[in-house]
Amino acid sequence: MSQQIVISGVGVWHPKESITNEELVSSYNAYVDSFNAQNADKIAAGECQAMPYSSAEFIEKASGIKSRYIYQKEGALDINRMKPLIAPREDDALSHQAEIAVEAAKLALASANKSAQDVDAVIVSCAYTQRAYPAIAIEVQEALNIEGFGFDMLVACSAATFGMHRAYEMLSAGNAKCVLVINPELVSPQINYTDRDSHFIFGDVATATVMEMADTATSEHVFDVLSTQAVTKFSNNIRSNFGYMTRAEDVDPYGPDKLFHQAGRKVFKEVCPMAADHIESHLSRHNLTPADVRRWWLHQANINMNTLICKRLLGREASKEEAPIVLDEYANTASAGSVIAFGLYHQDLDAGDVGILCSFGAGYSIGSLVVQKR
């Protein structure tokens, strides 16, 4: 690689509407009352279990989440529906996911001091895409009037970092001079709002980053990408089974197993040491230790996971300034969490400061970028 590759811009977009823990719990507990009343005889006979109640305090303690943004609030809190009410669009109209992707892309381009004409490639990388084809990335490319090419990637909660890895490689190979990586995380349609252990986890958001060669970067805040690193290890502990195969399987295409579900305690136990080892290994490639890192932009899944990972690496709890948390406002936003943290907390760094973006999620998949403020 003859030239330095940089991150020159970042954009964070969120919907106007949000749901607080209190609103979510009020709806959920009302649904529980209705379910338990309708199934009282079966519950008494031991044919099914009574649904448990929840509380805002339980959610915050378990996750660090206080609220979450949602693309369409209508329907999500209706106990007779328990899912967002999103109107379908004609094929010729901009899709919902492309719409939020475009919003984040515009913010990132402005941050990078770039126009659409400067971009050679668009990568849309996220946990879910709303259709198989045509690619959301190509739709976004068309909407922004970008020449070149685009494609979609699905890597669950590591989609953002893995997308940035692909941009880094394309730039290294000379296949592009400027790449736009977008993470339109429209997750709310995949949430089971009737499940106590997962209904509070996710929020909707879209993030984007601009990556290019250093000699073309003109923005105020530029970060050299020192290297990337990734690892995957198969696990069923975080899963979503929704897909086109259900048509041929004669099963409920919207059953609980087709929505997001996880074995949370197993995930916590297995991913935390895996992520800490990954980060330490990545830093060591540059003769760096965790003590050399000024800013940790970690995946925002659960505050307790981030606290433990930082403690394993630093030997103490990280301060909010060292490892910013955005879970309280945004909740878990699938792959976008570390990019949100980067987008909101990078402008105060000084030249030479080192930071690390790291995601960890379903797969299991872990991706990281070691960066340095230019």
Residue 3: band (very low, low, confident or very high) from pLDDT cuts 50, 70, 90:
confident
Q: Is residue 166 part of a domain?
A: no
CA-based torsion, 133, 137, 139, 142: positive or negative: negative
Q: Is residue 293 part of a domain?
A: yes
Taking 70 as the threshold, does the pLDDT of residue 60 lie above it? yes
Q: Is residue 259 part of a domain?
A: yes
| Nearest-angstrom CA–CA distance, 215 and 335 | 29
Dihedrals φ, ψ of 207, to 5°? -125, 160
| Nearest-angstrom CA–CA distance, 242 and 258 | 4
Query: Do 209 and 10 contact (CB within 8 A), yes or no?
Result: yes
Structurally, how many domains does the chain consist of?
1
How high is the pLDDT of residue 248?
A: 95
Catalytic position from the list 48, 126, 157, 178? 157
**What is the share, in percent, of the chain residues with pLDDT greater than 70?**
99
As a whole number, mean pLDDT of residues 79-105 equals 98
Q: Is residue 237 part of a domain?
A: yes
209-260 residue pLDDT tens? 999 999 999 999 999 999 999 999 999 999 999 999 999 999 998 899 999 9
How high is the pLDDT of residue 54?
A: 97
Q: Is residue 10 part of a domain?
A: no
How high is the pLDDT of residue 233?
A: 97
**What is the share, in percent, of the chain residues with pLDDT greater than 90?**
99
| Nearest-angstrom CA–CA distance, 48 and 40 | 9
Tell me, what CATH number does 300's domain have?
3.40.47.10
Q: Is residue 206 part of a domain?
A: no
> Burial, 214: exposed, middle or buried (Cβ in 10 Å; 0-12, 13-18, 19+)?
middle
How high is the pLDDT of residue 347?
A: 97
Query: Comparing C-alpha atoms, which of 216, 208, 147 is closest to residue 3?
Result: 216
As a whole number, mean pLDDT of residues 73-88 equals 98
Q: Is residue 299 part of a domain?
A: yes
How high is the pLDDT of residue 207?
A: 98
Residue 193: band (very low, low, confident or very high) from pLDDT cuts 50, 70, 90:
very high
Integer distance in angstroms from the first to the last C-alpha of the chain?
18
| Nearest-angstrom CA–CA distance, 248 and 117 | 44
Active site residue 126: no
Average pLDDT, the chain: 97
How high is the pLDDT of residue 2?
A: 59
As a whole number, mean pLDDT of residues 261-272 equals 95
Structure tokens at 164: 């940035």
Domain that holds residue 313: 224-373
Structure tokens at 369: 């970028």
Taking 50 as the threshold, does the pLDDT of residue 1 lie above it? no
Residue 278's alpha-carbon distances to 31, 119, 343, 356, in angstroms, are: 42, 32, 23, 12
Q: Is residue 242 part of a domain?
A: yes
